[in-house]
Each structure stands twice: as C-alpha cells, then as structure tokens.
Structure 1
Amino acid sequence: MPVIGTDIPNDWTVADDEMNTSLFWGPEGQGTLAAKGVGLNGSIQPLMVKSRDAGGDAYVFATGDKVYLWNMPMDEVFEYVKPTNLKDILVEMGKPPGKGAVELKGLQSI
C-alpha cells in the first residue's frame, strides 16, 4: 500500500529524510508506541508524513487494511472511517482546502 509520488497531497512527503521511519516506527519508536497504545498490533506500515515546511506534525500509516493518522504533538491516533481505502483518502486529501471530505474516529488508549 505504498504512496506513489503522484498521489502525495500538497504539504505531505514520503522523503526518507523527513519520514525517519527507524526513529518513529522502530520497536520503541513514538509512532509504534502510539499505535500499540490504542490496541493496534501487527505490522505497521508508515505511508507519509506532513512535510517539515508544513509543520511535520502528522503521520499517515496503515496496519492490515486500515489507514490511520497519528497526530504527533498530541500523541493521538485516528482511524480513517470515510473513505477507508488509501487511494480514496489521498484523493480527498489532494482536493483544494475545504473541498475534500474525510471522516476520522479518535481511538482511545487501552
């Protein structure tokens, strides 16, 4: 379920130097701990991060067939509930401000 360059919404990136996957998604990474803290287990796939120029404060990741958003400063995890598949989520995120429509559900810590 990788994000391809042409699919990346404005202000997001898949650049290795910004994604820092080993830091955030290693065994003790903040993203891994945030995901586990809301009961997500299994293989976590980091997909894209807000670019540094746009604040670098959110990360989209997947586990299984579900897609999630990690709000890094607040350390909160949200599940995309509408749309639910990555392709449609990216389409909505790529629309002009105020035109895209996604619904998120906040996940509670366990």
Structure 2
Amino acid sequence: MKKGQGKKESRLERAVKNMFQANSYSSSSNGYSHSVQHLPENILIEMKLPGIKKEHLSYEYVNGNLRIQIDQRDGPLVTETIFVGDNIDESNIQATFLEGVLSLTLKKLDGQ
C-alpha cells in the first residue's frame, strides 16, 4: 500500500456507512433485492420478487424485525429478516404487491 492511501473499505463497511448517512440502503440476498428507506413518519421497504405470486408471500413483525417469507414452490422456503426497530405501529403496516415488487409501509409510533 502506498503512503497516503487508506485501507480499502469492505462492501459491508460501505453498506453500513451508507445506511447511517442516508437513512436508506439496498441489499440483495437469496437472489432477491430489497431497499429500505427511513423517513420521519414511516419506513418504506421494497423487495423485487420476479416470478413470485402474491399468494406465496407472507410477512410478520416480530421483536423489531420484519420477517418476509417467500414460498418458491419449486425450491426451499426463503425467509428475509429486516431489522426495523421497536417503534413500529403493528396495526398500521400496509403492503402492496404489483408487477413482482412487494412494497411495505411501516408507520412509526408517534412519528419517531
């Protein structure tokens, strides 16, 4: 390493840094990509699920985590867990699934 050059950031370090700087991040795992955006009153999550049908999706909010389950029919059950925090109004989670994109809006308690 030449003088003046810092240590190269890993993908994980860059993702964590970006998440805290921009209040949003994108990730890809299990072959499905998702993005999370933290807004003052809501958390918005979009997950691209090509080839998946609405009836093969389920989600639940448990202990500060949003758990999304995808039944791939021809493959294993896939579970994606996204930490969203404890300040979510569980009774006010809205979901839509349109053209292979799952969109979830999680209302924060008292806009925290």
Using the size of structure 2 for normalisation, the TM-score is: 0.27
Which structure's CA Rg is the greater one? 2
Give the structure with the higher percent strand.
2
The structure that is helix-richer by fraction is: 1
TM-score by length of 1: 0.28
